[in-house]
Amino acid sequence: MIGHVKRMCTRVVWPDANGSVIVGRNMDFHMDLLSNLWKLPRGLERTDGVNGDLTWTAKYGSVVATAFDLIACDGMNEEGFAGHILWLAESDYGTPGPTDTQLSQAVWLQYYLDNFATVAEAVEWTNQSQVAIAQLFDPTGHLVPTLHLAINDATGDSAIIEYTDGTPTVYHSRDYQVMTNSPTFDKQLELAKEITGLGGTQPLPGSTLASDRFARASYYVAHQEQPKTQLEAMAAMFSIIRNAAQPFRTPEPGKPDASQTLWQVVLDLTNRRYAFESTTRPNIVWVDFDDLSFREGTKVLKLDLVSRLALEGGLVGDASHQFKDVGELGHELLAAGVSALELVAKKQDEFAAVEKAVQDLVGTKK
């Protein structure tokens, strides 16, 4: 199974950085996700991406980092509530029933950003609704993405939501500061207790394994001096999250799609700042929410990081005023792309049956 895991990431929360809640996150993947930032206002109408039974109007505006401009995989809303999608190989979403509340993976994170100001609100809704997650076709070739969701807010609260038996398991505590990938979160907590400085006697590990990254991130966020400024706080978090990053490297034995860190973000949930650093286009930009309008009726805007993070003469620094409208045609094409991924995901069983029939036919040829 490990050989097929392509996305490996890390999220760290520092809930008491001298009055600020600071979050860091790595995005690790085996190929460029062509990530951009999008500004999404209040008042957008959305559906669940499954059967259309769940519809909503965005209560809060947000800034999100996307994969291929189709799926929000990281982001923060105007209340300082943030969410982060990471890979979890053990995920099992089950088969939702006809009356179950459902969300497509394409809008899973966005639903939470649109509707909640705090982790407590999001956890309460998750537990009450027992929301089912419908898997999405992955355009990079991995047919069924297996994901889990981390959420955190401006009070320093944190939760991790995982599906291993078809229903949500919610780990909710301000103490749950770190999240990586396999194994499941409860097992990660136990493994970390074996490390010196975290309760055990084993030396701090240095490999790219998720459990080792979990231990390093847990250790370093627990051993921080109090910063004197927001600048120091965000710089310290960049240092922590870089230590959990994965270098570019040749494929490892048994891991032909070994991930490397493509980008990392650091969020100040208290002061509402979102900083983005690319490893493939090595510039840092940041967005201050006070400089953006999330008012209902304002346009959906895109910050083009794919073409504008050039090393020389490219976008760098405060990019709050650099978001642009992609026009109606652009929005229509993106909506069609998401719909296509959702449609293919719904037909997975049919595709699997066709694939098996073809393989059986080829296998019987003389």
- Give the active site residues: 9
Structure-token pair, residue 122: 């999001």
Residue appearing with tokens 């405060």: 318
Whose structure tokens read 């029939």?
A: 357
- The alpha-helical segments, DSSP class H, found in 67-181 are 108-115, 119-129
Which residue, among 93, 94, 137, has the nearest Cα to 344 in the 3D structure?
A: 137
Strand ranges in 91-244 using DSSP code E only, listed in sequence order: 102-104, 132-134, 147-152, 158-163, 168-172, 178-179
Long-range contacts of 311-317 (CB under 8 A, 24+ apart): 311/281, 311/282, 311/283, 314/281, 314/283, 315/283, 315/285, 316/283, 316/284, 316/285, 317/284, 317/285, 317/286
Amino acid at 59: K
